[in-house]
Structure 1
Amino acid sequence: MFKRIDHVAFIVKDRAKSINFYEEHFGFKKYYEHDVPVPTVEKIVYLKLGDTTLELIHVSTGSTNKGFHFCLESDNFDEDYTRLINAGIPVDTEPHPVGAREAREEGWRRVVFVGPDGELIEFRG
């Protein structure tokens, strides 16, 4: 039986810019990078935050991430929101209350920011 999602992957056009973005603003750390035997893909990079892994697929032309998003959990919503706003990261959806899926989520809010390649970065807390 499956036990968890191993990683989430999406396309990036500028590998260095995306690595820096996720390390600087969200606390991810690059831990692995490799070439792939596919002509359209330049490199694949893995970033880790706790038990969460992002796979950045470096494709310098073509595809987009339209409609793609992932969600992080924040332990200090207001602080994280303010920090990202002050860093000039664009907001797609302003903060608003969300229904609790389980008791620990009572009173949580969500917000959605836009990443360097159009990917949507939601966080809740």
Structure 2
Amino acid sequence: MFKRIDHIEIIPTDFERSITFYTEILGFTVKQRMAVPAAPLEEIAYLALGDTVVELMRVTDATITQVEPWGTGYRMMALEVDNMDEALEYLVGKGINPSWGPVTLGPSKRAEIKDCDGFPIELRQW
């Protein structure tokens, strides 16, 4: 009945900066981008990484919310990496330092980074 997560929605503070972060740093591609005449929603961009999609939403006068790392609700998305050490070395070279980790958890490794709005992104090597 349920097949997969279709997409995750993010309302960034700076729409263009977020598109740049996800495409130029993390390797997403712009699958579709369009204006949406449905106030307060102004524009959306679907960004694909493999068969995963993030929908960025440009919203008029979006309010900034405080991210509480151990509060209830949505916590973060996770990106699978082939090699944690190489991924972190690449990100550090782009000015993005891990906010946590890396740590080894049994046969896997885990670390966290933050996007340009401070939203957490887990990196996981299986």
* Shared fold per TM-score greater than 0.5: yes
Match of 1:103 in 2: none
Identity of aligned residues (%): 40
Q: Take 2:100 and 2:58, find their aligned partners in 1: how far apart are those partners?
A: 26
Equivalent residue runs for 1:63-102 within 5 Å: 63-64=64-65, 66=67, 67=69, 68-99=75-106
| Ranges in structure 1 where 5+ consecutive residues have no aligned partner | 100-105
Q: Which runs of no fewer than 5 residues in structure 2 stay unpaired?
A: 70-74
Structure 1 counterpart of 2:16, which letter?
A: A
Runs of 4+ in 1 over 4 A off after TM superposition: none
CA deviation after TM superposition for structure 1 residue 16, in Å? 1.3
Within the alignment, does 1:62 sit opposite 2:69 as a pair? Answer: no
User: RMSD of the TM alignment (CA)?
Assistant: 1.7
Kindly report which structure 2 residues correspond to 1:4-15, keeping only aligned pairs within 5 A, or say none: 4-15=4-15
1:22–1:96 Cα change, 3 Å: same
- 1:24 maps to 24
**SS of corresponding position for 1:45:** strand
